[in-house]
Amino acid sequence: SDLQKQEERGELLQPLIFVLLVLCSVLLYFKVSLMDPGFVKPEEEEGEDKGQDVVIPQIPGDFKLRRCGYCLVKQPMRAKHCQLCQHCVRRYDHHCPWLENCVGERNHPLFIVYLSVQLVVLLWGGYVAWSGLYFEQSREWLQHNIFLLVSFVLIFIFTIVVLLLLVSHLYLISCNTTTWEFMSHHRISYLRHSELENPFDQGIILNLWRFFC
């Protein structure tokens, strides 16, 4: 049959890979959006210092971790209360409105994987949409290709957004900082009291290793 001939020629491999990538992207979306991003629980307060990325000797000795004014738990360093999630989140990065969940200590690496897979899907989809277009200056051409044209424009916009988001996150990860720390450096007490601008930075290689491994 025609289907068997296409399979023998390898013409079904690329659509299959594309569908698998889309499925992987959807599964990652639900995984990152539904999982615990690193909520601070009251019973974990006694072990609050065990999960810190690095000891910071540059912070004065009289510096004390404070209790959250909302949920009243003792906040570990780099944690922040999210008013949308109603929890303090360890190594808080940001609250993602697309995921309806915080990006924090536990789901941040998966969030980066999700962005990477999503970028591949968008680039592939953009290539398919562009390859289906053939340009002619006529009204009939616009009527027959309006769907592909709109699809390509939307894919292009989403690709730029995802690409910028992924690049910015990879840059911050390489510096061992978070979006919240980068944007609110002057408001965060443990950074204001530090002798270094970024006391968590241990070099690009070690920062990436600690984050992903």
Residues acting as catalytic residues:
96
Distance, in Å, from the CA atom of 126 to the CA atom of 110, rounded to the nearest integer, reads 24
**CA 177, 53, 62, 198 torsion-angle sign:** negative
Helices 204-212 and 108-131: crossing angle, nearest 10°?
90
Q: Is 102 helix (H, G, I), strand (E, B) or coil?
A: strand
DSSP characters over 133-201 = ----SSHHHHHHHHHHHHHHHHHHHHHHHHHHHHHHHHHHHHTT--HHHHHSGGG-HHHHT-SSS-TT-
Distance, in Å, from the CA atom of 213 to the CA atom of 161, rounded to the nearest integer, reads 27
Give the dihedral of Cα atoms 185, 191, 192, 195; nearest 10 deg: -130
Residue 52: other Cβ atoms inside 10 A: 14
Distance, in Å, from the CA atom of 64 to the CA atom of 62, rounded to the nearest integer, reads 6
Phi first, then psi, for residue 178 (nearest 5°) are -115, 165
